Structure 1
């Protein structure tokens, strides 16, 4: 028998660049992660607007998470949206984008629709009308621009209110991860939390311990926060630029002419194809026409032909998916083969750990420097850090973890749940926050 909905119930949402999760109060009084898809407590942050099989007057069918990715991979007609979090704080947030069948959707409404889907699943699981939410946020939505950073948080709050949340609060994602780790801490210690996700790499130096965990106001225990807008999707971009797009002309040269050094072909299209939220800008009719006319720019006509295959068959997201899969395969096994047969029969590329590290060198160094800057901001030496707590999907890349660990050589490296630690910690914070408000 279903319970009648409670009023003013609360939840916590980790709205991630790559994956998302939601936590609600469980029957035992503890916060529990909701089964959001196929028995999983995390779901890819992806929406597919399917226009195939829909009448002209009907809006597209919206699919979420793994179902969205499956529909795209299976070739259904429509538009895949990923990395929606990346548009917050940018001029794109209030703009509309075509999703197929003559329909356009505002980017912020795409974010709202995804939050609504999570909220619906959580309300169904908890039999409660959820009105209050704690949302996770990166240390910086936008690097070195406080005004745009505030706009990004305001935009996410507006999207949450638009789907029925009347009380919206925020907590830093790495602080949430620290709260998750603190549940297992048996003595007071300094913890450097490294939250390396899909869109940002965030660090927090936090004082944790059994006597501190029941305090709601933890500001005095947060010694420093710092982050950079470099993470998993940037790794995907660099892998694609290094191993896939050269076959389509990236860094290729123009025709050889006597006495003239060949010029490199224009690179803008390749950077757009390697950026999730810009891929569809390459498919517009004027852009396709412009690219067709550039055939003479290529010394190797096969490169141009492959590029046009990508553009005309809308393979941009699929190639980014292959770059992401290659990155994961290297993290797990050291080397992989990338099948590019959709571009040309028999075409393939390869990636091993050495090549991946070379491609990601600049990004890796920026992330490690952010860890060092966090300690510097706190006025704490590396030797004082007892635990390095790792969370976020990109902490599966061993060379990155090794470099961060080297920055705090005396710390024990502890791997949290790469995809759920932040959501669990946000749940801890939400429960304490709302228990205090009742008191």
Structure 2
């Protein structure tokens, strides 16, 4: 018996922190593509090389290889969290990638999507022509025009990557499809999809009698979300525990008998925001920061800041804060070694510090979940299950608070990094698979 040809469609979870792609196999089932060393997810990261041959062709690395090149000190430019730039003014700008070259953010995104498409082709032998791509409930909070522009920009990037037909699906609804594939009774489920860039919620009717429907509009009772998630947690931890060593929140000298003023803080927020870090390295900004030396009562703090900025260590610093967030989530204190900034320098982050730093964001996320239930016309008792997915649902303090808000609901955990991609694959199969 001759195997059927593999269809030319796929599903892409283009995440703020991690991405994945699903394709049909020879039997028609959707499967996640191994991307790096057998892993079916890879960091959403690209490193543009600024040394070696063929620089005019924009040689680049993706995923873990991109992060490794940065950590190893290769000459070039690391791009992370590029999804966060969608719907912002950054999408119209060029960004320096070294060796006298510049590139637009839209081209960075299309290049990454092209890499995922190529991985699918290598896996199946078929270059996918059609794609379902996941999107957050809101790319941009409370701005419908910019939100629509963000989706249009992502669609154009996908077409430039080689896709001829592009459809979008809400990421939390995709997670609902993944959950639905494993249940045998109807439920009203609250999907809590909390990743690197957004916290998204959907209330969906799911069940074995519904799962084969293509149009699920009647089963979606409410969507809601906000632009607060894992990268915001990283920023909070870094600002609370790390940046004070570099002068954040410090006071300047008293001038003319006047009370001292706090040192300017914008640079610290930019250094703690993944997609803004590189803006601090621009020559004009460096000169501005050098001239701020007199704003510091303690010149050591200014020197530490200039070391981080001058040596372009912002991504490394935020990466250390991210690891400390993960360590403290387990209830342990984390030590962040800053010896590369100043010999012997280190800071400790306690679990209590991290909880206090994240309290405001967690409160906003829990309130967004409650608001989703209100928009569905339900009470908390009307939710049968809360289904957690997304990388940031590994934060126990967050999931415990969300579960406590819906005490009658069953708390369920999907694959934090792959549930959305798997659900998008199910959606793509229903949309694109030809009858018979």
TM-score normalised by the shorter chain: which range applies?
over 0.9
Contact 2:9 / 2:129 at 8 angstroms: preserved in 1? Answer: yes
Q: Pick the aligned partner of 2:295 from 293, 297, 302.
A: 297
| Pairing of 1:31-180 with structure 2 (within 5 A) | 31-54=30-53, 58-180=56-178
What CA deviation, in whole Å up to 9, does each residue of 1:88-136 have, x standing for no partner? Answer: 1112113211100000111000000000000000011011121000000
Is 1:274–2:266 an aligned residue pair? no
Partner of 2:10: 11
Q: Distance in 1 between matches of 2:22 and 2:141?
A: 28
TM-score when scaled to structure 2? Answer: 0.97
Post-superposition offset of 1:289: 1.2
Contact 1:59 / 1:103 at 8 angstroms: preserved in 2? Answer: no
Contact 2:3 / 2:26 at 8 angstroms: preserved in 1? Answer: no
Post-superposition offset of 1:334: 2.8
Question: Matched residue pairs, number?
Answer: 435
Partner of 2:223: 225
User: Relative to structure 1, is the Cα distance of residues 297 and 412 closer, same or farther in structure 2, using a 3 angstrom cutoff?
Assistant: same
Q: Distance in 1 between matches of 2:297 and 2:4?
A: 66
Q: Distance in 2 between matches of 1:5 and 1:223?
A: 38
Contact 1:14 / 1:423 at 8 angstroms: preserved in 2? Answer: yes
Structure 2: stretches of 5+ with no match in the other structure: none
Is 1:307–2:305 an aligned residue pair? yes
Post-superposition offset of 1:62: 0.3
SS at match of 1:128: coil
Q: Distance in 2 between matches of 1:237 and 1:84?
A: 16
Post-superposition offset of 1:59: 3.7
Contact 1:5 / 1:128 at 8 angstroms: preserved in 2? Answer: no
Contact 2:194 / 2:200 at 8 angstroms: preserved in 1? Answer: yes
Q: Pick the aligned partner of 2:235 from 231, 234, 237.
A: 237
Contact 1:177 / 1:391 at 8 angstroms: preserved in 2? Answer: yes
TM-score when scaled to structure 1? Answer: 0.96
SS at match of 1:251: coil
CA RMSD for the aligned pairs?
A: 1.6
Structure 1: stretches of 5+ with no match in the other structure: none
Is 1:405–2:403 an aligned residue pair? yes
Q: Pick the aligned partner of 1:393 from 391, 394, 401.
A: 391
